[in-house]
Amino acid sequence: MKKNKVLILRTAGTNCDYETQSAFELCGIAVERVHISVLIENKSKIFEYDILVFPGGFSYGDDVASGKVLSNEIKNKLGSEVRKFALSGKPIIGICNGFQVLVKIGLLPDPELFTQVSTFSHNDYNKFECRWVYLKTGNKINNESNCIWTNKLPTIVSLPIAHGEGKFIPKNKSILNSLNKNNQIVFRYSSKDGNIPRYPLDPNGSVDNIAGICNKKGNVFGLMPHPERYIFHMQHPSRKNFTGKNHGWGKIIFQNAVDFVNR
């Protein structure tokens, strides 16, 4: 019987891969951290895996712009394989720097189109933001998310952020309208009671307070907050057990993907 596996893609500057590996392993799935050079040497290797992860960090020092060098490398050397993986329906997640990469590759918001139609800019207050934020799950229908990663989450969750270029900007109004129409905005920065926030509750000034989006199918998910940093309830500043199961909201996000591939 085939054993499902997670591929965490890493390169120079990746620094959240070990935490992400630990999160997935706690969900009961095998994980391998693979350097991009290994995939470039053997492109078909990507299809040995069931979940693909672009973790957080500062890939290639975020030279030029956050995630830009890595996204160009992936697009030019692994583009067709990564796109095929996405279109197969297998789960993909991009966290923080990984979200920036998914957008700049063109996997989000539409792997069919596979063209960059959004970008990221420096936070409005022009400083690195590292703290906890509230998020509103914005794409629920009948209390279920069309994003496979965010099922079983409540309307408001809290996760930590750590970024300097987190301001999400769609190319034009049409792209934003499409994201809303197709129920692709997964997370918005929020106040604790679900109201539209201003700084510091919205840490970067993203258009429409966007903190995370998915593709139409819901298998490709990118978010600026770090779910791998809230796996145990004791990691939250309040130490409160919000889930009732001694784990944090981040654990649920990873467990959703593992449960999906284990069906």
Residues with catalytic roles: 96, 226, 228
Residue type, 165: E
Rounded alpha-carbon distances, angstroms, from residue 27 to 33, 53, 62, 221, 241:
16, 15, 30, 18, 18
Helix 68-87 and helix 97-105, axial crossing angle in degrees, nearest 10: 70
Contact predicate 96/67, CB 8 Å: no
Q: CA-based Rg of the chain, rounded to a whole angstrom?
A: 17
**Beta-carbon count within 10 A of 209 CB:** 21
> b/e per residue, 118-154, with b = 16+ CB within 10 A?
bbbbbbeeeeebeeebbbbbbbbeeeebbbbbbbebe
Using a 10 angstrom Cβ sphere, with 0-12 exposed, 13-18 middle and 19 or more buried, the burial of residue 239 is exposed
Burial pattern 19-47, b for ≥16 Cβ within 10 A else e, equals bbbebbeebebebebbebeebeeeeeebe
